[in-house]
Structure 1
Amino acid sequence: MQTATHPTTAAHRRDEGYFPAGSMLRRVQAQRAVGLLYGQRALSIGAIKPLNYVGTSEHTAGKQAPFKRLVRTGLAFETIYFGTRAEADKVLAYVHKMHERVNGELPEDAGATPAGTPYSALHGPLMLWTVAVMMDSAETLHELLVGRLTADEREALWQDWRRFALLFGTPEEVLPADHAAFRAYYAAEIAAADAHLTPEAHHVGRFTAYSIPTRAIGRPAMEVHNMLILGSLPPRVRELYGLRWNGAQERLHRVTAAAIRNGLAVLPGRVTEGANTAVFRSVAAEERRRLRNGIRTPHVAG
């Protein structure tokens, strides 16, 4: 696994982490509006690549508790975004050990990808796609709910995500060199012939994005949450899921997002910024409670 070297400056001796205060990735992910939504959005888009989805699904024991897995991933990533290098290195070592076991072959045809196609969690292009949907979701949701980024900020954000990818061992040669190259790559992947949802990916991608197990969010707030994610998806992804979207929804989406941006802008940073650890853990706890009572995370009908 590739990891960044530790410069011997006083700042790094204090172990400020791989993404110290002021780095674009940290600035964006510290916005709670981004941190709360980007993972669900990234998962629903990431599922359109069968090798990525099936490789993950075939090597997880948590199918009955998808939010527990999502929360575990979210907490691990927040450790890398906000923690010390020592804390991040523990997470990276653990994830690398898990990824070494994730390899196999596609058991059946999945759209344009034939049965028998090999996959590995350590295969560069698959690693890139995993990071790409996270970067795109972070950038998209920041611009939707917090504010537009300048061209220089977008470039700095992608360079930080490149570093994030390298920490996980992604080969540098598969990573787009700059933000413009990343955007070209991402658009091509969304439009590619191999974009396809297996039946399980269709099911899991939808209910994970639109059905949070929580008692803290009422139905009206949940409907706003769902509309924000749905409206932010690339049109082709909505089509693959069979999700309806029209002009009236688009107008309501724009108005709602603007209202949230304006509201967040006047709130103090202690409210709008920081890790989402407490929220993530409450979601996992509620899913556990429901499972104990025989209630599975539901399928969401379109």
Structure 2
Amino acid sequence: MSTRHGEPGYFADDSMIRRVMSKRAVGLTYGVRALVIGAVHPLLFVGTSEHTTHRATPYTRLAVTGALFEAVFLGSKAEADRALAFTRRKHDAVVGTLPEDAGAHHRAGTAYAAHDPHLMFMTMAFTFDSAEVMHDRLVRELTATEREDLYQDYVRWGELFGMPRDAAPADYPAFRRYFDTYLNSTELFLTEEAALVGSYLAGHRKAYRQRPPAEQVGTALYLLVQGSLPARIRQMYGIEWGIADELAHRALCTGIRTAHLAPPLAPRVLASTLAGPSAPSYKLLARREQHMVKTGHPSMPGVDPRNWAQRHSAVRTGGPGAA
């Protein structure tokens, strides 16, 4: 069970979770997709947005979360334990109630807590589903046995973060029935802020143009994420998706899959590009975002850096931003 550092981790080198999450095509896309889809769950979105210290720097939060998750996926037990302890400390403070109605199923006053077993499972569900989908599209389709093994690894991953085992369905078919039913249910709801943040993350709304090649890389990433979303989720965000978009998405996916099918004697540089930790790439994104914010350019224009409680406290006291 050696890791990238030669020390044992919680998952064996040949485990499906390591095999899947070590693919950079998955590591660089699954997190964005999971956040875009997960935003339709009001308790998860509001619970996170009300308690995060990164409201003004959402991509930094993505980078931090990606690094924490990757430490458990790919790191040694010591690295994983540090990430798990850090996460538990942060989650201890995530307790509250919805300040406003968020659809018929989530009325104002509905309680949430990061340690709630069902919410922990839903976090795992959005993460697992996104990793599975992106591997199928960008690497190769998993076999039924591999899919089951990956699901069981993710359940174990959830347990490491504190999720009770019985909070998740017993096997992959049961999970897929539950999750697909949920995605087609009336429970899904985008708050105004969730719709705005998710639109930025999905590339449906863009704040700034980037310099080449960053602009081209970003466009490709957004195409991959948008094309991987269920049609209903795209519709909730108002993302128009036509035949040309679908063909472009498929062509890009095919190109990336083909790279993974390179013969064993392919140059090492190709192999090292396709596999390995994705956290360094997320750190670059976070550094760029922090530089933008420091120079007066909001990362996501229109997203208030204050949470609901802070905004409404300002209204009551007549402080800055009360109007």
Is the deviation greater in 46-55 or in 245-254? 245-254
1:58 and 2:50 are equivalent in the alignment: yes
* Distance (whole Å) between structure 2 residues aligned to residue 143 and residue 11 of structure 1: 26
* Distance (whole Å) between structure 2 residues aligned to residue 89 and residue 294 of structure 1: 37
1:30-88, CA deviations, whole angstroms, 9 ceiling, x for partnerless residues? 00010001100000000100011001111112111001111011111111111111221
1:156 and 2:149 are equivalent in the alignment: yes
Q: What amino acid maps onto 1:289 in structure 2?
A: H
Structure-1-length-normalised TM-score: 0.91
Aligned to 2:320: none
CA shift, 1:216, in A, is: 7.0
SS for the counterpart of 1:19 is: coil
Q: What amino acid maps onto 1:258 in structure 2?
A: T
CA shift, 1:215, in A, is: 5.7
Is the deviation greater in 232-241 or in 203-212? 203-212
Q: For 1:184, which of 177, 186, 190 is the aligned residue?
A: 177
Aligned to 2:41: 49
Is the deviation greater in 263-272 or in 79-88? 263-272
Does structure 2 conserve the Cα–Cα contact (< 8 Å) formed by 1:49 and 1:195? yes
1:263-302, CA deviations, whole angstroms, 9 ceiling, x for partnerless residues? 34326422210001221111111011111111112459xx
Counterparts in 2 of 1:210-225, with a 5 A limit? 210=203, 217-225=213-221
1:290 and 2:283 are equivalent in the alignment: no
1:262 and 2:258 are equivalent in the alignment: yes
Aligned to 1:72: 64
SS for the counterpart of 2:96 is: strand
Q: What amino acid maps onto 2:47 in structure 1?
A: G
Is the deviation greater in 208-217 or in 100-109? 208-217
Structure-2-length-normalised TM-score: 0.85
* Distance (whole Å) between structure 2 residues aligned to residue 18 and residue 75 of structure 1: 16
Counterparts in 2 of 1:129-168, with a 5 A limit? 129-168=122-161
* Distance (whole Å) between structure 2 residues aligned to residue 11 and residue 193 of structure 1: 44
Q: What amino acid maps onto 1:198 in structure 2?
A: T
* Distance (whole Å) between structure 2 residues aligned to residue 135 and residue 244 of structure 1: 26
How many residues are matched? Answer: 290
Aligned to 2:236: 240
**Consecutive unaligned residues in structure 2, runs of 5 or more:** 303-323
Aligned to 2:200: 207
CA shift, 1:220, in A, is: 2.9
Describe the shift of the 1:176–1:167 C-alpha distance in structure 2 as closer, same or farther (beyond 3 A).
Answer: same
Q: What amino acid maps onto 2:240 in structure 1?
A: R
Is the deviation greater in 114-123 or in 204-213? 204-213
Describe the shift of the 1:23–1:217 C-alpha distance in structure 2 as closer, same or farther (beyond 3 A).
Answer: farther
SS for the counterpart of 2:29 is: helix
Aligned to 1:16: 8
Does structure 2 conserve the Cα–Cα contact (< 8 Å) formed by 1:207 and 1:297? no
* Distance (whole Å) between structure 2 residues aligned to residue 133 and residue 64 of structure 1: 23
1:12-31, CA deviations, whole angstroms, 9 ceiling, x for partnerless residues? 9x851011211100100000
Cα RMSD between the aligned structures? 2.0
CA shift, 1:218, in A, is: 3.1
Is the deviation greater in 140-149 or in 218-227? 218-227
Is the deviation greater in 42-51 or in 207-216? 207-216
Q: For 2:17, which of 14, 22, 25 is the aligned residue?
A: 25
Aligned to 2:315: none
* Distance (whole Å) between structure 2 residues aligned to residue 128 and residue 237 of structure 1: 20
SS for the counterpart of 1:20 is: coil
Is the deviation greater in 43-52 or in 222-231? 222-231
CA shift, 1:184, in A, is: 0.8
Is the deviation greater in 203-212 or in 119-128? 203-212
Does structure 1 conserve the Cα–Cα contact (< 8 Å) formed by 2:2 and 2:9? no
Does structure 1 conserve the Cα–Cα contact (< 8 Å) formed by 2:197 and 2:300? no
Q: What amino acid maps onto 1:206 in structure 2?
A: S
Does structure 1 conserve the Cα–Cα contact (< 8 Å) formed by 2:99 and 2:108? yes
SS for the counterpart of 1:17 is: coil
Q: What amino acid maps onto 1:42 in structure 2?
A: A
Is the deviation greater in 276-285 or in 150-159? 276-285
Q: What amino acid maps onto 1:151 in structure 2?
A: A
**Consecutive unaligned residues in structure 1, runs of 5 or more:** 1-9
Q: For 1:230, which of 226, 229, 237 is the aligned residue?
A: 226
Seq. identity, %: 41
